[in-house]
Amino acid sequence: MTAPDAAPQAARPVLPVRPELAGEVPYGAPQLDVPVLLNVNENPYPPSAQVVADIAAAVAEAAHGLNRYPDREFLGLRADLAEYLAVESGVRVAPEQVWAANGSNEVMLHLLQAFGGPGRTALSFAPTYSMYPEYARDTHTRWVAGRRTEQFDVDPAEARALIARETPSVVLLTSPNNPTGTALELDTVRAVLAAAAEVPGGCVVVVDEAYGEFRREGVESALTLLAEHPHLAVSRTMSKAFGLAGARVGYLAASRELVDALRVVRLPYHLSAVTQATARAALRHAPELMAQVGSLRAERDQLVLDLRDRGLRVAESDANFVLFQVGQDRHAVWQGLLDRGVLIREVGPEGWLRVSVGTPEETAAFTAALWEVLGI
């Protein structure tokens, strides 16, 4: 019985939430305020005073024109990105072959909006980036996850068979992969491209190289395959190597035809004048930022050795993070590190944890805490 003075209960609104979204929660790693943040693969070095000054000046300049909508085609930024890719990988593409958006997450959404959709399938190989199934869900695209091998590699023969069976319109290959760090052999990418070319109605292969700049000596970028494969897209981001996660700029390189399909689905003026100015100013400092990548790679290699020295199993890494095995109760290890002021990521196969490469001081704080927690 309700007490006579009880406040009337507000009626629960009836909202027509799509059934596949019912009970879902927004994606995101915990954002906790602790001294050592090694959980989301950020670059630990903030932009230098010079980079900050140049970005600020470029944004001030752009601010004078903020009464107008920004350049919808942003060919200036696309040309700068093409130039950067030519220097970084030796592969030259035209500005019209580059596409950009608010993070490579949005680039990926554009890809699925253009090439996925109801009645279509997107396929990848797990364990991999946990956002992909969400893009598929949001674009009504069926999701199929093949398996990676014990070494977190993709088996070319298995991949070919899976593609022939599932006839996807989009295949996502992540290389270096997140959360494992593993880069794919280009022969594997070639096998996937060949299988995709045989899918009736066509199939786009996306190689997500968000961590491409961290690849080890001798590991090739899929950019080198672009010229012969009009159904290939290679995506990159300014969030990781460039240390510009807060600016939200991701991009891809592909054939003009593929890029033109993305231009159809993007929202008008999706890339703000402020974002374009920020990215172009940062790109002018690419050589300085790339020097930093070299030291992060060296530190990554050393971290892998240190973990192995203590008897831990560690996945090969071509990224700015390392996946290592701690056994069954990984949550207790994660919590033990957090109690010592170090936040890493509880992600990937059961029993494994992922740590981003930080500054030498941060990495030292992480290893000291880990030896203590594991008693090794």
Ligand X SMILES: *Cc1c(COP(=O)(O)O)cnc(C)c1O
Positions in the binding site for ligand X (CB under 6 A): 41, 103-105, 129, 174, 178, 208, 210, 237, 239-240, 245, 250
Please tell me the distance from the alpha carbon of residue 84 to that of residue 237, in angstroms, as a whole number: 12
Distance in Å, CB of 107 to ligand X, minimum: 8
The structure tokens listed for 67 are: 């009464």
Closest-approach residue to ligand X (CB): 103
**Residue nearer to ligand X on the CB measure, 42 or 54:** 42
Tell me the three-class secondary structure of the chain, residue by residue.
CCCCCCCCCCCCCCCCCCHHHCCCCCCCCCCCCCCEECCCCCCCCCCCHHHHHHHHHHHHHHHCCCCCCCCCCCHHHHHHHHHHHHHHHCCCCCHHHEEEECCHHHHHHHHHHHHCCCCCEEEEEECCCCCHHHHHHHCCCEEEEEECCCCCCCCHHHHHHHHHHHCCCEEEEECCCCCCCCCCCHHHHHHHHHHHHCCCCCCEEEEECCCHHHCCCCCCCHHHHHHHCCCEEEEEECCCCCCCHHHCCEEEEECHHHHHHHHHHCCCCCCCHHHHHHHHHHHCCHHHHHHHHHHHHHHHHHHHHHHHHCCCCECCCCCCEEEEECCCCHHHHHHHHHHCCEECECCCCCCEEEEECCCHHHHHHHHHHHHHHHCC
Nearest approach in angstroms of CB 372 to ligand X is 29
Q: How many other CB atoms sit within 10 Å of the CB of residue 98? A: 24
Cβ pair 333, 373 in contact under 8 A: yes
List the one residue out of 316, 245, 256, 244 whose CA is nearest residue 283: 244
Which of 240, 330 has the CB closer to ligand X?
A: 240
CB of 199 or CB of 355, closer to ligand X:
355
Smallest CA-to-CA distance from 318 within 123, 186, 193 is with: 186
d(CA 114, CA 258): 9
* Beta carbon of residue 127, minimum distance to ligand X (angstroms, whole number): 11
Q: How far is the CB of 189 from ligand X (least distance, A)?
A: 16
Residues in the chain: 376
Q: Which is nearer to ligand X, 54 or 208 (CB)?
A: 208
What is the distance between the alpha carbons of residues 86 and 92, in angstroms, rounded to a whole number?
A: 5
